[in-house]
């Protein structure tokens, strides 16, 4: 079973970011002069920790070692970014050679700090054309300012889960495709008890719910966070104001911020049997591809389906898009076995059969174009919804930044104030948000 990894604007991610920003300008130096055919033991550090996840990693390593009998891999799991970054700065024989991270927002720091090696020379000398192998959005979040210091290692996509039984009772024939349809359906699906409190909410758009980080819903607008000079431009992009306005309208249409927030506090833990969608308190819910596996294992006491998240009405032709993120893998700059390490990274990220087997084992979205269309993938249609989202040309990922998730956290904090009605002038508030993001970026660069 795969649990969702927190990949965006969360305090745990920022803890790692803080370590990256302090004292990382001189990472330990390794070597790319090793003979990849010579016997060697590689240290591979990763974040997976549950029994099913560890088994999937161990199976992958076993497949690699059968192909490369001279290379042994010593895997260390449940490693956080901050622990990894301390080891990369220190170097030494116990430091990792191959590294992976769930925090794609830190790629900008991995690349700019020099702690993760540039992979372009390895790609070129082994004939891997990255633009052909990887979907464009996934490739985008593994590089920063022209430096390809990571590669995608499975992906997560976000879509809409909906209660088919509730839809049938409400006379709704299909999931919503546009934001106006989402609002209309959410109102029709909302149910109250005799005393007026909620029994079921059609759709909870509040940003404090589970996976409802603002950047994930904002992806449906295809926003541009920064201009070509790296300056924040959220205030200049009309999509930003429309996004926040639409989110407030979704809240207001179902009773307002106060009542919906109070209802949210009655929800159980996201990963428990009291999850709000699983218990029927939500008729529609934004979540990642892993949720389907958990709903089947529970099992859910109702029929359910999946669909892409709705899009703005004026962008109806982009329906099918979604927010993408994922795990990334790379080579430690401090490794003295970088060519051998590349063989492992290449196997984990490029080999189609390996990517498919790993994706099926973890119930994640595969991260190469060939794997996305493989007939060996899980055929479950509720899962294949997310494969379509990953392959959609309008799907987007967050752009990397030198200070990691800091700009996403600023967006999240601003979103909390907007939905609560604390931002009276949205235009002025967005200008202030841009100024804050630019100030944070300048501080990191200095």
Q: What is the model's pLDDT at position 378?
A: 86
Pick the closest to residue 330 from 195, 159, 144, 171 (CA basis).
144
| pLDDT of 108 | 87
β-strands 151-163, 71-76: how paired? unpaired
pLDDT the model gives residue 28: 64
Nearest CA-CA partner of 288 in 347, 376, 362: 362
Q: Which stretch of DSSP H or E encloses residue 396?
A: strand 396-397
Q: What is the pTM of this model?
A: 0.88
The pLDDT tens digits along the chain (446 residues) read 344 444 443 333 333 334 444 344 456 677 788 898 999 999 999 999 989 899 999 999 999 999 999 999 999 999 988 888 888 887 777 889 999 998 787 888 888 888 999 999 999 999 999 999 999 889 989 998 889 999 999 999 999 999 999 999 999 999 999 999 999 999 999 999 999 999 999 999 999 999 999 999 999 999 999 998 889 999 999 999 999 999 999 999 999 999 999 999 999 999 999 999 999 999 999 999 999 989 999 999 999 999 999 999 999 999 999 999 999 999 999 999 999 999 999 999 999 999 999 999 999 999 999 999 999 998 889 999 999 999 899 999 998 888 777 899 999 999 999 999 999 999 999 999 999 999 998 887 76
CA nearest neighbour of 420 among 430, 412, 428: 412
Distances (CA, A) of 76 to 45, 47, 83, 94, 268: 5, 8, 12, 11, 32
Burial class, 25, CB count within 10 angstroms (exposed 0-12 / middle 13-18 / buried 19+):
exposed
- State the chain's mean pLDDT as an integer: 91
CATH of domain 11-156+324-396: 3.40.190.10
Percent of the chain predicted with pLDDT > 70:
93
The domain limits of the chain are: 11-156+324-396
Predicted confidence at residue 252, as pLDDT, reads 97
| Distance in angstroms (rounded) separating the CA atoms of residues 210 and 233 | 27
Angle at 31 between CA 25 and CA 35, to 5 degrees: 160
**Confidence at residue 134, expressed as pLDDT on a 0 to 100 scale:** 95
3-state secondary structure of 154: strand
Which value, to the nearest 10 degrees, does the dihedral of the CA atoms of residues 214, 217, 222, 228 take?
20
Contact 2, 52 (CB under 8 A): yes
> Residue 8: its pLDDT value, please?
41
pLDDT for the residue numbered 17 = 39
What three-state secondary structure class fits 98? strand
pLDDT at 26: 57
């Amino acid at each position: 079973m795969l649990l969702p990894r927190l990949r965006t604007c969360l305090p745990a991610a920022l803890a790692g970011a803080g370590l990256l920003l302090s004292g990382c300008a001189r990472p330990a130096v390794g070597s790319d002069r090793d003979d990849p055919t010579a016997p060697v033991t590689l240290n591979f550090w990763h974040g997976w920790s549950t029994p099913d996840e560890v088994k999937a990693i161990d199976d992958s390593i076993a497949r690699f070692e059968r192909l490369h009998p001279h290379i042994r891999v010593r895997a260390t799991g449940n490693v956080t970014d901050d622990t990894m970054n301390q080891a990369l700065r220190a170097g030494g024989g116990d430091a990792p050679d191959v590294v992976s991270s769930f925090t794609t927002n830190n790629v900008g720091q991995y690349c700019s700090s020099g702690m993760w090696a540039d992979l372009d020379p390895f790609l070129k000398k082994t004939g891997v054309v990255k633009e052909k192998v990887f979907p464009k959005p996934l490739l985008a979040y593994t590089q920063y300012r022209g430096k390809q210091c990571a590669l995608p290692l499975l992906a997560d996509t976000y879509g809409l889960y909906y209660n088919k039984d509730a839809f049938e009772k409400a006379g709704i024939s299909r999931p919503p495709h546009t934001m106006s349809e989402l609002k209309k359906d959410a109102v029709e699906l909302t149910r109250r008890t005799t005393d007026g409190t909620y029994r079921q909410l059609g759709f909870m758009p509040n940003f404090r719910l589970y996976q409802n980080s603002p950047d994930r819903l904002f992806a449906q607008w295809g926003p541009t966070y920064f201009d070509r000079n790296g300056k924040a431009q959220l205030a200049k992009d009309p999509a930003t104001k429309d996004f926040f306005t639409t989110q407030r309208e979704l809240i207001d249409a179902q009773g307002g911020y106060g009542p919906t927030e109070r209802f949210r506090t009655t929800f159980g833990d996201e990963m428990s049997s009291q999850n709000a969608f699983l218990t029927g308190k939500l008729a529609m819910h934004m979540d990642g591809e892993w949720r389907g596996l958990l709903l089947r294992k529970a099992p859910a006491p109702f029929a359910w389906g999946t669909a892409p998240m709705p899009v703005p009405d004026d962008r109806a032709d982009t329906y099918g898009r979604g927010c993408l993120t994922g795990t990334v893998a790379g080579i430690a700059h401090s490794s003295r076995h970088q060519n051998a390490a590349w063989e492992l990274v290449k196997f984990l990220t490029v080999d189609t059969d390996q990517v498919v087997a790993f994706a099926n084992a973890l119930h994640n979205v595969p991260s190469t174009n060939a794997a996305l269309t493989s007939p060996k993938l899980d055929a479950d249609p509720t899962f294949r919804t997310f494969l379509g989202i990953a392959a959609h040309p309008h799907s987007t990922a967050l752009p990397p930044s030198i200070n990691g998730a800091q700009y996403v956290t600023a967006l999240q904090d601003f979103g909390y104030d907007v939905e609560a009605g604390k931002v009276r002038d949205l235009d002025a508030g967005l200008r202030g948000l841009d100024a804050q993001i630019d100030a944070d970026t300048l501080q990191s660069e200095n």
